[in-house]
Amino acid sequence: MTVAQERTTSQVTTSIGHPLEPLTPEEIKAAVSIVKTEKALTGSFRFATVTLKEPEKQRVLSFCPGDPISREVFMILLDNATATTYEAVVSLDEPRLVSWDPIPGVQPPIMLDEFVACEAAVKACPEFQSAIAKRGITNPDLVMIDPWSAGHYGIADEEGVRLSRALCWVKANPTDNGYARPIEGVIPVVDLNKMEVIRVEDYGVVPLPPKDGNYTPEYVKNYRQDLKPLEIVQPEGPSYAVDGHEISWQKWKVRVGFTPREGLVLYNVTYTDKGEDRPIFYRASLAEMTVPYGDPQPNHYRKNAFDVGEYGIGSLANSLKLGCDCLGVIHYFDAFITDSRGEVAQIENAICLHEEDFGILWKHVDWRTEQTEVRRSRRLVISFIATVGNYEYGFYWYFYQDGTIQYEVKLTGMVSTAAVMPGEVPKYGTLVAPQLNAPIHQHIFNVRMDINVDGQNNSVYEVDIVPEEDEHNPYGNAFYAQSTLLPTEKAAQRLIDPMKGRHWKVVNPSKTNAMGYPTAYKLMPGENTLPLARPSASVINRATYMTQHLWVTPYSADEKYPAGDYPNQHPGGVGLPQWTDADRSVEDTDIVVWYTFAHSHSPRAEDWPVMPVGTIGFMLKPLNFFDENPANDVPPSVSRHSCCG
Q: Which amino acids are annotated catalytic? A: 307, 391
Nearest to 22 by CA among 349, 252, 260: 260
Task: Give the C-alpha separation, 593 to 596, whole Å.
Answer: 10
Contacts of residue 310, defined as CB under 8 A and 6 or more positions apart, other chains included, come to 109, 110, 149, 567, 568
What region, left, alpha or beta, does residue 359 occupy, with left being phi > 0 and alpha being psi -120 to 50 degrees? left
- Three-state SS sequence of 60-125: HHCCCCCCCCCCEEEEEEEECCCCEEEEEEEECCCCEEEEEEEECCCCCCCCHHHHHHHHHHHHCC
Q: List the beta strands (DSSP E) in 401-458.
A: 405-413, 418-419, 429-433, 436-439, 441-451
Side-chain half-sphere exposure of 618, counting CA atoms within 13 A: 25
Cα(584)–Cα(592) distance, integer angstroms: 12
Burial (Cβ within 10 Å: 0-12, 13-18, ≥19) of residue 206: buried
- What would you measure as the largest C-alpha separation in the chain, in angstroms? 85
User: What is the chain's alpha carbon radius of gyration, rounded to the nearest angstrom?
Assistant: 26
What is each CA distance from 347 to 25, 52, 113, 312, 386, in whole angstroms? 12, 17, 15, 14, 11
Q: CA-CA distance, 257 to 265, in Å (whole number)?
A: 5
- Number of Cβ within 10 Å of residue 321's Cβ equals 13
Helix 126-133 crosses helix 112-123 at what angle (to 10 degrees)?
A: 70
- 237: CB partners within 8 A, 6+ apart: 329
Beta bridge partners of 189: 165, 199
> Which residues share a beta bridge with 247?
242, 254
